[in-house]
Chains A and B, each alone.
Chain A
């Protein structure tokens, strides 16, 4: 079985974010970066799938040069191959441009049975790239996956559970499929020191826009449909009221105030 896993480098969730306001892109230089937390679950699911069914894993990351770090981390966790997708023309790509580029990379890798991805990134928060990727490739679109029950590569079939509103939906789908996973599907493992040392020496292969044959008019800030026109810090919530006094009085006041909202039935 050939497994691909999409990894994105994101700013550390604790890091201070800096924007390049005119272009609406992120200043990623000098910012602490990590593998998108949701993608760690995708990577772990790829590793578990390989353990259960055999196969090989190719980790892909689209992003600036520095994003090679997330692929080194994947190598340290013993993925079989990595592929960086990086080109200055990709900067500012919206979700469609990103999914289109990733689709070309997956086609170029060839013979992929299943693609794992995280539910969303913690920076852009869009959560739609995996669904767009599936639609562009014409592959099964399996989102919010909380459990992979079975993968039958020979029979071209996968059965998963999707955690949706009110419960879990059990879905059988044809392979190839794009599976985006939620937190809690597994417990991501950590790389060991030997793995990290080995990965540090590997040269990370890179595909440019030209290598993928992508239409330059469809990628990057220039090619994207959606354009960021404004970035703002949300207005702070109005100063709240700290209720003081005896607990009896506080509870009395608060319950009155909440009942007055006419929401509680």
Chain B
């Protein structure tokens, strides 16, 4: 149906995680508002297993393009296939996660369709039969709401964790619509040679818990304590720009305007002053804990819980308490 809400199901070489299906939740809400259905769409070598999972998370239908050339992610191959599906069925809405893959495919397939899109969306509502998309701009100091007035399909990339995960019900099933579409190898521009797994495997964007160190951590060694707390909680280590620019920790850990935008359930900021550029990257976190020696640090204005004190004393105490209470 022309008004259907489509959700791009992201996978890596066929491997999926529950997060691949995250947007089926908000997709269903939007479809209810539009009086239509939520559907998944998949590009990959094989789609059946992915589709089965998508039905369990609420998709009523899954559209798929399969082929050997779609085994690993390549932006041009996937975008051409996504463009083919979107152009043929012209759904009312297409949602992608704002990950590296989701953004690559959304941007390129929208461009092939000649449409603009809304990126890193944090608010989606149906207003007068049209979807209104809200995103942060200027480092989160403003929110901007946009509608897509001309395009057949309103395309948005959505900030991971901005919306609740849908419930899973393994008894649900649906129809898989497979489309014959292929791209000749000679027409493809890119080839993945290898994937180098990061030693620390930072995936800040997907993390539920992030423990961040800022300038107040003082030096590279200070991050050992930050990491200890993060490991204890099963979380990831973040860093402010000041800490990264001081060379204490690699850039892949940076949270903020020139780093990553994150929305974990718990964000613990240690020795982070809370410059607007940092707040831009984490202010939508569910629960923010600030630990800073300076009672006037701006981070306290954004914090759910604040502790005025030296992280070197507070963090070991927290580790000790967690150890006892979590039985670790």
CB within 8 Å of B: which residues of A? 11, 13, 17, 19, 24, 37-38, 94-97, 99, 122-128, 131-136, 139-144, 159, 161-174, 177, 182-184, 218, 224-234, 236-238, 240-243, 247-248, 250-252, 254-259, 261, 263-265
Contacts and interface: CB of A to CB of B under 8 A. Distances in A.
Interface residues of B, number: 96
B37 interface: no
Top 9 A-B pairs, shortest CB-CB distance = A131-B107, A128-B107, A94-B116, A132-B111, A135-B108, A184-B251, A135-B111, A230-B145, A251-B317
Contact of A122 (B157, B257, B266): B257
B251 A140 contact: no
Contacts of A171: 190-193
B128 to A, nearest CB: 11
Nearest to B283: A237
Contact of B75 (A96, A131, A255): A131
B322 A173 contact: no
Interface stretch (B40-48, B61-69, B167-175, B303-311): B303-311
A213 B229 CA distance: 58
A258 to B, nearest CB: 6
A205 B259 CA distance: 34
Contact of A126 (B119, B138, B189): B119
A260 B150 CA distance: 47
B100 A162 contact: yes
Contact of A128 (B106, B233, B266): B106
Contact of B193 (A123, A170, A218, A229): A170
A170 B79 CA distance: 19
A172 B72 CA distance: 14
A151 to B, nearest CB: 15
B138 A165 contact: no
Interface stretch (B24-32, B52-60, B205-213): B205-213
B190 A247 contact: no
Nearest to A16: B141
B272 interface: no
B191 A172 contact: yes
Contact of A127 (B103, B146, B151): B103
A240 B309 contact: no
Given A141-B75, A264-B234, A131 B116 contact: no
A239 to B, nearest CB: 8
Nearest to A242: B306
Given A232-B145, A255-B325, A142 B190 contact: yes
A122 B258 contact: yes
Contacts of B151: 225
Given A166-B203, A258-B266, A258-B287, A247 B313 contact: yes
Given A123-B138, A231-B142, A232-B143, A263 B111 contact: no
